[in-house]
Amino acid sequence: MKGPVLITGAAGQLGTELARVAWPASLRPVAPPESSLDITDRDSVMRAVEAYEPAIVVNTAAYTAVDAAETHEAEATRINDTAVGVLADAAGEAGALLVHVSTDFVFDGSAGRPYDEDDEPRPVSVYGRTKLAGEGRALGAARSLVLRTSWLYSAHGTNFVRTIRRLAGERDRIRVVADQRGCPTAAADLARTIVGLLDREREPRGLYHAAAPDDATWWDLARESVDAMSPPGNAVVERLSSAEYPTAARRPADSRLSSARLARDFGLQLRPWRDALADVSAELNAAALPLGADR
């Protein structure tokens, strides 16, 4: 594939990593700020498509505040569902491939095994329902690829790893849910996977899972994040049950994703989450060093 790649959600975790990753010369990424590309504004989207004439549109923008979505359903729907339809229309008019990123939260977590692409989604939250609706909009485009991922984190933006590190610097003890399981995925690894999918003659289409190949609980991820801090985090990470930590939105107890189809069809596999976390932790540790300190 070749040509311009229009990226939405430039300021988010994945958008930032797509700006940092190495792209082949045949693909020319452009990531306008939200001030000039608002995916909820049809005119804004059409202007961007006319200006950049993309061969590919990669949508990384989303409403990701899972709990807040329960009381802000209209806004979550506008961004996660309706806006994806706008992008699908615009990509179709431009003859472009639409790449859309979705989530493991489209499942209810009751399968007791990793979910594959043939499993029926049953979201248990507004966030999950709106993301599933957005998948339908994207898959209805003339040419589209939907990638479901899981528990995304990075060295920037708002995410679980950064929150835990902050809390570890403020508290002696952190209580974290230990009975929800998923596949923590580094945004940088997902960005490299997206580029790997696009940098080939055969155009990728359809629905694929793209997550770390191994799983963890939130407690596992928190403990490893604190252990990797430098200077060391002093907080003790304690286990909680979901019942002891009620939230506005229900979370799936086991939303593990199988990315075997991605490996089979394209030879692509993301790194184990501990390996990826080590790199993210090193970047955060370096950023936390005082100016002039030995890095």
Q: How confident is the model at residue 289 (pLDDT cuts 50, 70, 90)?
A: low
Supply the pLDDT for residue 205: 97
Rounded CA gap, 114 and 3, in Å?
A: 36
Residue 223 falls inside a structural domain: no
pLDDT tens per residue, range 103-130:
999 999 999 999 999 999 999 999 999 9
Tokens representing residue 209 in the block: 């899972």
> Which residues have CB under 8 Å from 32's CB, separation 6+?
6, 10, 48, 52
Residue 292 inside a domain? The answer is no
> In the prediction, which pLDDT does 292 show?
37
The CATH number of the domain holding residue 11 is 3.40.50.720
Both tokens of 138, joined, read: 């994207």
Active site residues: 127
18 within a domain of the structure (yes/no): yes
Query: CA-CA distance, 155 to 13, in Å (whole number)?
Result: 8
Range of the domain at 91: 3-159+183-213+256-275
Residue 290 lies in a domain: no
User: What would the 3-class secondary structure string for the chain be?
Assistant: CCEEEEEECCCCHHHHHHHHCCCCCCEEEECCCCCCCCCCCHHHHHHHHHHHCCCEEEECCCCCCCCHHHCCHHHHHHHHHHHHHHHHHHHHHHCCEEEEEEEHHHCCCCCCCCECCCCCCCCCCHHHHHHHHHHHHHHCCCCEEEEEECCEECCCCCCHHHHHHHHHHHCCEEEEECCCEECCEEHHHHHHHHHHHHCCCCCCCEEEECCCCCCEEHHHHHHHHHHCCCCCCCCEEEEECHHHCCCCCCCCCECCECCHHHHHHHCCCCCCHHHHHHHHHHHHHHHHCCCCCCC
Task: Return mean pLDDT, the chain.
Answer: 95
Q: Is residue 260 part of a domain?
A: yes
Domain count, the chain: 1
Round to whole Å and give the CA distance between 143 and 192.
21
Examine residue 90 and state whether it is found in any structural domain, yes or no: yes
Query: How does pLDDT run across 157-190, given as a tens digit for each residue?
Result: 999 999 999 999 999 999 999 999 999 999 999 9
Omega before 231 within 30 of 0, i.e. cis: yes
In a domain, 101, yes or no: yes
CA count, 13 A, side-chain hemisphere, 215? 18
Both tokens of residue 190?
């997902």
Inform me whether the pLDDT recorded for 199 exceeds 70: yes
pLDDT of residue 258: 98
234 domain residue, yes or no: no
pTM of this structure: 0.95
What local confidence, expressed as pLDDT, does residue 288 receive?
Answer: 78
Q: In whole angstroms, how far apart are CA 56 and each of 131, 169, 197, 239?
A: 21, 42, 12, 44
